[in-house]
Chain A
Amino acid sequence: MKRKFKYDPEDLESLLLNKRFDELYPEEKEFVLRHMDSAEEYASMRKTLLSIVEQPDSGPAIRPRSSTKRKLMREFEDEKTATWQVWLNGIFLPFNRRPVLSYATLAVILIVGGLFFFNQSDTDKVMLAENKEQPKEEQQEADKTDDLEKNLEPADNSSEEPENELPSAETEEELEEELPSVDESETIQSTQKEEIEINEDVKEDAVMDLQVAEATNKTTKDMETPADSEISNERKVTAAESEPSQSTEELAESIQPQIVREEVADEKLTVTETNTDSFMMDDQMGNMYEQTTMQSQDIVVGKEARLEVEPTSMSKASFLLQNLHTSM
């Protein structure tokens, strides 16, 4: 029967360190003698091993220099900072450390900054667009008032380009909204007719007065010296501008845009009363009444403005018309 050894050859070290040859068990001796020639060799090896193991250090243990630790701790700090500064070292540290990362970081910052800037400008544009929406309505209203003011200019201009004064599709709709409905317009027409009949007499009187005034002016002009004429012109100007202008300005300031538009609409109607020629034509045209009234209104306003003080704004015209009403 083959004997089984308890120890492996690798365990010889422990045997050598712990047991003398005579202290070994028989199987241990057998095991040792398989790897060694004799008991003497075992004893010799044991002594050598013990002398090595028990060997006191040939000198005091070397102590690492304190400067080595300081250096290492500094390196640790550098490495620690380098890890989080690696992406920003191009910004905060000189470029010569990691130029690729530095330029990459700079590029990223520029791109992000650019995107941010353009986004900001887009929002500004949107805000501008939003702001423009509000003025657009006001602009349309202003355009409408401008158109009306243009119509206040002398009738010669309006007669030259009558087609241009026709309202566009958009303004037509707006005007339709502003204009009264059919029933209302019928009642208005009837009342207007009555008023026209009454006012015809007044108009004729006014024309007569104007003619008389012109005749008197001519006679006074002939009698006046140049200096007197200048003074009189000044007086006319002041007389024409002082009271009415003050009142018109006050009206313009006090009246809100919406109200102004309403007044303009009223003025359109009232102004038509003053122009008898065009008004008669409008009266006879029946179905075309609404469209022609628009034209006739504009023309009449222009005439009325020219006859009076050539007002530059609708408010002045309205003032004059109000005066006309009160006088009637």
Chain B
Amino acid sequence: MSLFNKKYRTLTDEQLMELVAEKDKQAFSELYDRYSTALVNYFFRMLWKDREKSEDFMHDLFTKLIQKPHLYQSGRNFKTWLYSIANNMCKNEYRKQEVRKNTVNMDTPNAMGEDGSEAIRSMDRKDFDKELELALAELDEKKRAVFEMRFHEDLSIKEISEALECSEGTVKSRIFYTIKFLNGKLKHFEKAVNAILLIICSMLY
């Protein structure tokens, strides 16, 4: 059994997917092990950190692989294909939850309020993350998808362009404007950022 597992571990994603199309159970298991955690986290971040929803979405995504493996075009990068499906699922969910999104925006505390106090400015990392999440929630779905893929899933520009079916220039441009937007939103965390940078640098060096 371990011999077979070893064999499957050496195969590429694309080879495994072709085996899945031939109803190879072990190949499917290997693909699941490779991408289930990343995908469930991707959905978790993209879908308002809803654990149940992210689990459901990840399950649905792999069900699609089981039911329609022929949709995968051999020669295409499997990872980008997988994330393009995940991204489309998220887009559909955004459309469904548009009202909810608006509700979230309405409920979002005015962290960038002009009356920002010292308490907010001295937020720790946890607070920064929370603010970042709120800022990301304000992003449109395209920029958010690019941001998540680029900075959380570690996809290359090329992979993102393939996943989102757009040019690499468009992906880079979206990344730049996302950073600019977040910089404007998180400017009041400058001190905290500086502190974090100091910590990171001290750890690195």
Q: Which of B67, B169, B187 contacts A10 (CB 8 A)?
A: B169
- Bound together, the chains give a CA A5 to CA B58 distance in angstroms of 44
Q: Which of A8, A16, A64, A76 contacts B179 (CB 8 A)?
A: A16
Beta-carbon contact of B37 and A61 below 8 Å: yes
Q: Which of A52, A71, A73, A76 contacts B182 (CB 8 A)?
A: A52
Residue A9 lies at the interface, judged by CB distance under 8 Å to chain B:
yes
Residues of A within 8 A of B58 (CB): 64, 68
Beta-carbon contact of A10 and B193 below 8 Å: no
List A residues at the B interface (Cβ < 8 Å): 8-13, 16, 35, 41, 44-45, 47-56, 58, 61-65, 68-69, 71-73, 75-77, 79-80, 83
Beta-carbon contact of A58 and B197 below 8 Å: no
Give the contacts of B179-198 with A (CB-CB under 8 A): 179-180, 182-183, 186-187, 189-190, 193-194, 196-197
Q: Given known contacts A62-B40, A72-B63, A73-B25, is B190 in contact with A13 (CB within 8 Å)?
A: no
- For the complex, would chain B's binding face be called helix, strand, loop or mixed by DSSP majority? helix
Beta-carbon contact of B63 and A62 below 8 Å: no
Beta-carbon contact of A10 and B55 below 8 Å: no
Beta-carbon contact of B23 and A55 below 8 Å: no
Residues of A within 8 A of B194 (CB): 47
Number of B positions contacting A (CB below 8 A): 48
Beta-carbon contact of B179 and A51 below 8 Å: no
Beta-carbon contact of B37 and A44 below 8 Å: no
Q: Which of A9, A12, A53, A79 contacts B151 (CB 8 A)?
A: A53
Beta-carbon contact of A54 and B29 below 8 Å: no
Which residue from chain B places its CB closest to the CB of A63 in the assembled complex? B37
- Known pairs A13-B176, A16-B179, A76-B66; list 18 more (Cβ under 8 Å): A10-B172, A10-B175, A13-B175, A13-B179, A45-B179, A45-B183, A47-B190, A48-B186, A48-B187, A50-B193, A50-B197, A54-B196, A55-B128, A58-B130, A61-B37, A68-B59, A69-B29, A72-B59
Residues of B within 8 A of A76 (CB): 23, 25, 28, 66
